[in-house]
Chain A
Amino acid sequence: MSYATDLPTTSEFGQVPGTPQGSPAEAVHWTRKPWFVNALAVAILLVVWQYLHSVNGRVPSIDEVVSFLGVELGGGSHGGVSRGEFWGPLSISLQRYAIGLAIGIPVGGLLGLLIGGSRRFRSVLNDTVLVLLVLPSVVWAFAASLWFGIGSTAPVVAVVLTAVPFMAVNLSSGIRGLDPGLALMSDAFRVPRLRRATHLLVGGALSNAVTGVRLAFMTSWNSLLIVEWFGTASGVGWRAKHWYDAQRFEGFVAWILLFVVFITLLDWLVLRRLEHRSTRWQQQPTLTFAEGEIA
């Protein structure tokens, strides 16, 4: 560089204020750690459950449910000819879930890009997507099984139809929320199109996209179960309904529990972490950088 050496150097400015110097966040008391709070919540839930069992015999007890699960897992006998089934229903549901999301998330993402990026598409598609968003998944359950009958098409379609609007709405609002000043800045510096797409558009809408993905995962798991309950003869939802119809409430509760545990774990271990990562830039240095914030 051709600049002469009499330019002031960084050190003349001294230490830049606000630079983190590796000072660790203040230690959080263990009673406030997320794992403790979560464990406490689970414990309270179990106590309430056992209490409900003691006042109402139709509510199965914890150990009834656990031993039922053991039979389902081990493939033992539930009495008579009925045998335990676990991996079969679970893997069928997970396949439908995966296929539905693999279609619904990209399609919803594309719709979100179009709605967010183009006024014309917005006027045509926005209301359609909103209708999709407000329709409860039980409607998809009935409609899809009406159209496609018993089989895997109906639940997959329901997952797709639930995932699409969540993706589309979140992504499009992310794109519409982009500061027009940043586009003007990119114009002024003649930033190439491709770099602008990856850094400005994707960078800016990424956190909204991830939120969309998270909501799509959670809500379409719900839809899947409902469709399987009402319109199929296989999968997790069907298995729960099977035991419900058989008046084996410990079986019904066991499967509902599995259903909840699955989505909760998925959210804690994957989705929430993704969301946290993608929104890291929004946070102030001293507030919530601690990794302990997420489970």
Chain B
Amino acid sequence: MATILIENLTKVYPPTPTYPQQVQALGGVSMSVTGNVFVAVLGPSGSGKTTLLNIVAGVEEPTAGAVRVVQDGVPAQVGYVFQEPRLLPWRSVLDNMLYVQNRKSDRSKREAEFYLSMVGLSDVAHLYPAQLSAGMQQRVGIARAFLVNPDVLLMDEPFSHMDALTGRSLRDYLQRIWAHTRKTALFVTHDVGEAVELADRILMLRPGGVVFDDIPVNLPRPRRPDDAAVHAVETEVLRRFDSMEAAVRFGDQRN
């Protein structure tokens, strides 16, 4: 069983020549996620969502605090879907998949093809990324993350760069795949509807990288964006954002 344990995580970017002020991306985030849960991290642009995922993935160092990502006591295998597709432009779709595959065997190619078919891309395995639409490239990124058989799945707004219709059908895909694999998932988004549709739990971030709320979503799956129950939770999430903003504004006025 996979566990993500985050304790008082802080990330401050030092000033740069182009932006001569330090930036606090994360201001003491703590959370613990265990087992087959789908957690959404919801926050506006610049609230430190990508920074959080990068630190959890081990590709960025925190300024302070600790992160543990383990599976049965050993470091967990992480699958990461980035905000951009991040494919090697000079390799075919299939070779991009094999690039992250760690066990090389006859099976690895068949596995890669299987995950490509899962996102509806069997027919373009031999094409270069530049020959795919943005949405198709992002689907390769999703297939790639599943290919490494991850214990923990990190997703950074994977649908934000595509049109609403494609995003809708891919969310559908993701729900179904996740229902079968039930990987521990940390899903970053700024889209309230998306968070409610996909997640068991929503962590709400505000600018400065502070978790100000943590809402469980106990709705049966599969969920549709137009379900009344989904809609009700959305309204509640938005209400809490509004009152957080009001509180911050009120706080400013008192200073």
Contact = CB atoms under 8 A, between A and B. Distances in A.
Contact of A16 (B86, B88, B136, B180): B136
A189 B82 CA distance: 12
Interface residues of B, number: 43
Contacts of A207: 90
A18 B102 contact: no
A235 interface: no
B88 A182 contact: yes
Q: How large is the interface on A (under 10, 10 to 19, 20 to 34, 35 or more residues)?
A: 35 or more
Interface stretch (A4-12, A38-46, A122-130): A4-12
Contact of A188 (B57, B95, B121, B124): B57
Interface in A1-32: 1-4, 6-10, 12-13, 15-20
A184 B88 contact: no
Contacts of B79: 189
A254 B100 CA distance: 57
Given A3-B180, A10-B117, A189-B148, A203 B91 contact: yes
Interface string B92-127: 000100011010000000010010011011111001
A181 interface: yes
Contacts of B120: 8, 10, 12-13, 16
B122 A10 contact: yes
B235 interface: no
B173 interface: yes
Interface in A144-187: 179, 181-182, 184-187
Contact of B123 (A19, A188, A195, A284): A19
B82 A187 contact: no
Interface string B128-151: 111111001000000010001000
Contacts, number: 100
Contacts of B86: 179, 181-182, 184-185
B78 A188 contact: yes
A282 interface: yes
B51 to A, nearest CB: 12
Given A3-B180, A8-B173, A13-B120, A281 B80 contact: no
B89 interface: yes
Given A10-B117, A282-B130, A188 B58 contact: yes
B148 A16 contact: no
A9 B113 CA distance: 12
A287 to B, nearest CB: 10
Nearest to B132: A18
B238 interface: no
Nearest to B144: A189
A208 to B, nearest CB: 11
B57 to A, nearest CB: 5
A285 interface: yes
B111 to A, nearest CB: 8
A179 B133 CA distance: 19
Contacts of A192: 102
Contact of A19 (B78, B99, B124, B173): B124
13 contacts: A3-B118, A9-B117, A13-B120, A16-B124, A181-B82, A182-B86, A184-B54, A187-B57, A187-B58, A189-B144, A195-B99, A203-B88, A281-B128
Interface of B: 54, 57-59, 78-80, 82, 84, 86, 88-91, 95, 99-100, 102, 111, 114, 117-118, 120-124, 127-133, 136, 144, 148, 154, 173, 176-177, 180-181
The 4 lowest CB-CB distance pairs between A and B, nearest first, are A13-B120, A189-B100, A185-B86, A187-B59
